[in-house]
Amino acid sequence: MRGAPGAGRLLARAPEDHSDMLVWMSGAPPTPPVPSAPPPTEADERALLDQLRAGDNRAYERLLREYGGRLLAVARRMMGNEEDAQDALQDAMLSAFRGLERFDGQSKLSTWLHRIVVNACLMRMRTKRRRPENSIESLLPQFKKDGHRADPGPAWPAGRVNPEPGSSIEQTETRRMVRESIDQLPEGYRTVLLLRDIEGLDTEQTAAALDLTANAVKTRLHRARQALRELLDRRMRGSKNETDSSEDVQANEVRP
């Protein structure tokens, strides 16, 4: 993944130009590196696929060992909790094992597995009882007639916008805020944002997965990004107010 700029610069960009940074801010890269071994090569994947189709039990164990952690990370991002993520991953692996003969090898095995996990998560999300949701309209920023935001608000705290390389506390807090803000989006918009900006599906793939038109995906993605920016703005303003209050208290303590 390319080097990520600051959070503020990311969300101030045009809507189609910030998926890399959103991934970093959410703390959830689509394909986390496996520290113990390099990613499998295409030759490795072809050999593994041949072994799987031959019914080699060791190949099944290798598949879970090499891809299970990354696939579980996908399910966690989509489902939002560990139990549902584990269930979705189990569904996905069963579907994958049953569909091995239909895999044509036109894409990488890892890409195929990723799509199956995403689809398994979508199936579970459709059957789950829906939680009460806010209207997307209540989350969108308000604009004046001249096109400027009605309430641009103060600048985000510098430590949150551009955390220093060693400032793990600021990075962790920023990522937590992004994840929580994404979870506040209405489901239909949250799902589009996750598929496009986090999981890396393109517009046509997202439309097919959700049974939407490409234009509907583009519209939902644009509005989801606007709403996410607004949610983060509100939280950043609150963070700035807390910081300012803390600085005032400290200043009063040191006065003679």
Please say if the pLDDT value at position 123 is more than 50: yes
211: alpha, beta or left? (left if phi > 0; alpha if psi -120 to 50): left
Contact between 159 and 170 under an 8 Å Cβ cutoff? The reply is: yes
**CA-closest candidate to residue 183, choices 218, 114, 235, 141:** 235
pLDDT of residue 84: 93
Query: If you average pLDDT over residues 67-95, what whole number do you get?
Result: 92
Query: If you average pLDDT over residues 148-174, what whole number do you get?
Result: 60
| Topology at the third CATH level for domain 37-127 | Rna Polymerase Sigma Factor; Chain: A (1.10.1740)
Worst-scoring range by mean pLDDT, 122-136, 177-191, 214-228, 234-248? 234-248
CATH class of segment(s) 7-29+168-245: mainly alpha
pLDDT of residue 46: 86
Contact between 6 and 170 under an 8 Å Cβ cutoff? The reply is: no
pLDDT of residue 6: 36
pLDDT of residue 206: 92
Worst-scoring range by mean pLDDT, 94-103, 112-121, 171-180? 171-180
Domain locations along the chain: 7-29+168-245, 37-127
Q: What percent of the chain has pLDDT over 70?
A: 64
> Which residues touch 237 (CB under 8 Å, ≥6 apart)?
153, 154
pLDDT of residue 76: 92
pLDDT of residue 11: 37
| Local confidence band at 1 (pLDDT 50, 70, 90 cut-offs) | very low
Could you tell me the two tokens for 220?
A: 């939902």
Rounded to two decimals, the pTM is 0.65
Query: If you average pLDDT over residues 123-139, what whole number do you get?
Result: 75
Alpha-carbon span 220 to 212, nearest angstrom = 10
